[in-house]
Amino acid sequence: MRSLINILDLSTREIDELIETANDIISHPEKYAEACRNRILATLFFEPSTRTRLSFESAMYGLGGRVISVSGESGSSVTKGESIADTARTVSCYADIIAMRHPKEGAPYVASLNSTVPVINAGDGGHNHPTQTLADLLTIQREKGRFENLTVGFCGDLKFGRTVHSLITAMSRYPGVRFVLISPEELKVPSYVKKDVLAKKNIPFLQTTDMEAVMPELDILYMTRVQKERFFNEEDYLRLKDSYILDPKKLANARADLSILHPLPRVNEISVAVDSDPRACYFKQVRNGRYIRMALIMKLLKEAEA
């Protein structure tokens, strides 16, 4: 049974196909309105989420399918001590495909080992968030028209930011990509990303704490929120949460064709004054997330049928 746990579960060719399908859905949504008729998506969200859960549910409705959902541990048998393995086996009996978010890293993988239907990782702790990466890739493709030869800046919480790890991993498969990693010392990219992804493939990267100094180099600036829920110590969170705030002044030296991305939700890290800048793409990213999830649901259901 094919599931999507890590972005590397998809080849670059498959990603290209998903992007092609998503672009076709954007152009001709009516063609896909009944694509998943009589199919059921179960959204199991054991951690708070607004946009990802709604995006999955909206995607399934857009395909003519139906949705059943669990939101928060308090509304599920997990509070009675049920294991992820048993939850996955049970929900497989009710749904054709599962989207799962869980605060524990690896939980959707455990679900996929026990489910009889495809499982989509909708975010597991600070680990992976492959469908956000697909939304990011669709946005980059639509804004830049390519993945190759881009300088991609990541700014903010690069330690716990799962979207950052997934996007670095995905983009590292394309030639000519260079990364600029902007973060406070305490929130640097984990060593396994640097060693296993960047160093192993000889991909050039720069680590810095100075966002303005590197701004002119960037084709893409991927801002992230410092996530309170990832800290064991509130004092550290309060000290680091406003490390970087992107505002029009900081964009003064940026390229005219810069694309500003953010997985959202945002708190303070992008000033609302930036929203009207034509380089701001983060709300387009939200829209793209729905379409790429539609393409993914169709693909996994089709493969499960085969």
Partner 1 sequence: MNVDSIQNGVVIDHITAGRGMRLYALLGLDELDCSVAIIKNVVSVKMGRKDIIKIDADIPVNFDVIGYVDPAATVNIIREGSLVEKRTIGLPPVLTNVIRCRNPRCITSVERGLDHVFRLTDAHQGIYRCIYCETKAN
Residues that bind partner 1 (CB under 8 A): 83-85, 102-107, 109-110, 124-127, 191-192, 196
DSSP type of residue 294: H
Of 148 and 229, which has the nearer Cβ to partner 1? 229
Backbone dihedral angles phi then psi of residue 10, each to the nearest 5 degrees: -105, 135
Answer yes or no: are the C-beta atoms of 137 and 15 closer than 8 Å: yes
Catalytic residue among 39, 43, 87, 101: 101
Of 104 and 287, which has the nearer Cβ to partner 1? 104
Residue 162 annotated as catalytic: no
Of 5 and 246, which has the nearer Cβ to partner 1? 5
Of 64 and 190, which has the nearer Cβ to partner 1? 190
Of 26 and 113, which has the nearer Cβ to partner 1? 113
CB of 232 to partner 1, least distance (A): 8
CB of 237 to partner 1, least distance (A): 16
Q: What are 41's two structure tokens?
A: 């998506």
Answer yes or no: are the C-beta atoms of 214 and 206 closer than 8 Å: yes
CB of 99 to partner 1, least distance (A): 17
CB of 83 to partner 1, least distance (A): 5
What is the residue-wise DSSP string for 218-283? -SEEEE----GGG-S-HHHHHHHTTS--B-TTTTTTS-TT-EEE--S--SSSB-GGGTTSTTB-HH
DSSP type of residue 128: B
User: What is the residue whose two structure tokens read 């900081």?
Assistant: 250
Could you tell me the sign of the dihedral formed by the alpha carbons of 130, 134, 140, 143, in that order?
Answer: negative
Residue 80 annotated as catalytic: yes
Residue 101 annotated as catalytic: yes
Residue 52 annotated as catalytic: yes
Catalytic residue among 127, 129, 165, 293: 129
CB of 37 to partner 1, least distance (A): 34
The number of residues in the chain equals 306
Residue 239 annotated as catalytic: no
Catalytic residue among 52, 133, 163, 224: 52
Q: Which residues are catalytic?
A: 51-52, 80, 101, 129
